[in-house]
């Protein structure tokens, strides 16, 4: 990497964090600097997920970090957010992997699972010994997950699952997938209600394949899943899952981490652009940082990053008090990913031709953020969520 990250704090943001929060952030920052930054450009170039880092991530307590018990770190939501910030400063794809393991697999097991399911899966997932994926999205149903076609038919003491899922992070490397399906024939349950199921990926009839040719999130695994008469015991149902709202609760967990991650990606782009502009000389042997148009870009970036930091910190504080709403998380995700993508584009401008090479992280962040802006609720869907919150009128 051309420059070492120097931190980004314009208004004394660190003073708003307590000692534990700074300690967690600094530990995650050092882990990313020591382990991910040296290899991430090569991983991105090769389209390779750095699986060799998984055991170390587990040892550091990064998986299911905000869960309590079962071998999890029991961090606060702000501490977890700061970890996600540092991971996305490293790479959105690697942060996606940690988000899925934590917020989309461990969280639903913790929240909706039986004690037996929690005791079996969570300790192994906390160490990274077992990996998971989250099967909600289908090829024809992204922003409208309620239209899913995957179904789970009750057959005695089993469920038989049929359907396909698409754009599934870690799908082909997971040991277990949380599959959301419409249930039919369940005793005392109305037909078509969405529920979550734990499906081990080695069950007969379960198959996965990877999406190739990606220009974005190249350092993470993106898969499709197919279930053809996959039989699972009824005990694999997540008993607390109750309709689509349960799946959306998981998405809120993930979106919260993504909102922090956007700040991290923006920090990386801004700090790179600032250091480059102070080094690069043009016209009268002066650094380009001395030019008004470059300063305008840098001023915009640091202002928006600062606003984004304050936004996610407040949402995190509300979350730790149990006062957050999904509309708060939608605002944070919508704003911070838009902001990060704009920072990446401005940084690319400042770096000129150098901005398109992987000597610098800017173009990689830009391509990754194009996906992050779309997944876990598109920018437009989050606009409508906030719009419904302030008007009381759904516009879907």
Q: Cβ distance 261 to 372 under 8 Å?
A: yes
Backbone φ and ψ of 75, nearest 5°: -70, 160
| 175 vs 188: CA distance, rounded Å | 31
Q: Which of 21, 86, 88, 376 is catalytic?
A: 376
* Distance of alpha carbon 88 from alpha carbon 84, whole angstroms: 6
Give strand pairing partners of 181: 195
99 closest CA partner among 241, 254, 268: 254
Taking a C-beta distance cutoff of 8 angstroms, is the pair 108, 250 a contact? Answer: yes
Q: Distance from CA of residue 340 to its chain's centroid?
A: 14
Distance between CA atoms of 254 and 296, rounded to whole angstroms?
33
Q: Kindly state the tokens that stand for 210.
A: 């990877």
CA distances for 249 relative to 114, 243, 253, 307, angstroms: 17, 11, 7, 26
Any idea what DSSP says for residue 52?
G
Residue 283: count other Cβ atoms within 10 Å of its Cβ.
Answer: 9
Spatial separation of the C-alpha atoms in residues 159 and 172, rounded to whole Å: 22
Residue corresponding to tokens 């001023």: 299
Taking a C-beta distance cutoff of 8 angstroms, is the pair 275, 98 a contact? no
With beta carbons less than 8 A apart as the criterion, state whether 179 and 161 touch: yes
Among this protein's residues, is 376 annotated catalytic? yes
The three-class DSSP label of residue 256 is helix
Provide the H-helix boundaries in the chain. Answer: 19-31, 37-46, 54-59, 77-90, 92-99, 107-112, 115-127, 244-279, 292-320, 326-351, 362-372, 379-391
Regarding beta strands 193-200 and 176-184, do their DSSP bridges make them parallel or antiparallel, or are they unpaired?
A: antiparallel
CA nearest neighbour of 221 among 233, 209, 237: 209
Active centre residues (catalytic): 376
């Amino acid at each position: 990497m051309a420059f070492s990250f120097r931190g980004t704090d314009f208004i004394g943001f660190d003073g708003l964090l307590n000692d534990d929060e700074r300690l967690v952030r600094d530990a995650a920052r050092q882990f990313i600097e020591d382990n991910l930054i040296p290899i991430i450009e090569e991983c991105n170039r090769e389209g390779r997920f750095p699986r060799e880092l998984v055991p170390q991530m587990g040892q550091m307590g990064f998986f299911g970090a905000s869960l309590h018990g079962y071998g999890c770190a029991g961090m606060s939501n702000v501490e977890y957010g700061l970890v996600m910030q540092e991971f996305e400063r490293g790479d959105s794809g690697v942060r996606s992997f940690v988000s899925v393991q934590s917020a989309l697999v461990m969280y639903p097991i913790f929240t909706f699972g039986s004690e037996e399911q929690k005791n079996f899966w969570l300790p192994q997932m906390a160490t990274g010994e077992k990996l998971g994926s989250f099967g909600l999205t289908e090829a024809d149903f992204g922003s409208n997950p309620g239209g899913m076609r995957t179904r789970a038919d009750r057959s005695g003491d089993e469920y038989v699952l049929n359907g396909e899922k698409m754009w599934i992070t870690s799908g082909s490397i997971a040991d277990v997938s949380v599959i959301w399906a419409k249930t039919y024939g369940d005793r005392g349950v109305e037909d078509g209600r969405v529920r979550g199921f734990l499906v081990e990926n080695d069950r007969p009839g379960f198959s996965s394949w990877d999406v190739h040719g990606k220009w974005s999130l190249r350092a993470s695994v993106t898969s499709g899943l197919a279930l053809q008469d996959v039989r699972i015991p009824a005990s694999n149902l997540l008993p607390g899952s109750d309709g689509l709202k349960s799946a959306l609760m998981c998405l809120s967990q993930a979106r919260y981490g993504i909102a922090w991650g956007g700040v991290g990606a923006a920090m990386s782009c801004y700090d790179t652009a600032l250091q480059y502009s102070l080094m690069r000389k043009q016209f009268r042997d002066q650094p380009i940082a001395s030019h008004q148009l470059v300063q305008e870009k840098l001023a915009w970036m640091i202002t928006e990053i600062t606003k984004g930091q304050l936004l996610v910190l407040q949402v995190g504080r509300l979350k730790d008090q149990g006062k957050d709403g999904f509309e708060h998380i939608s605002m944070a995700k919508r704003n911070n990913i838009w902001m990060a993508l704009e920072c990446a584009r401005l940084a690319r401008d400042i770096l000129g031709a150098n901005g398109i090479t992987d000597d610098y992280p800017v173009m990689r962040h830009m391509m990754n953020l194009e996906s992050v802006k779309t997944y876990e609720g598109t920018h437009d869907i989050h606009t409508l969520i906030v719009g419904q919150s302030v008007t009381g009128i759904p516009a879907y």
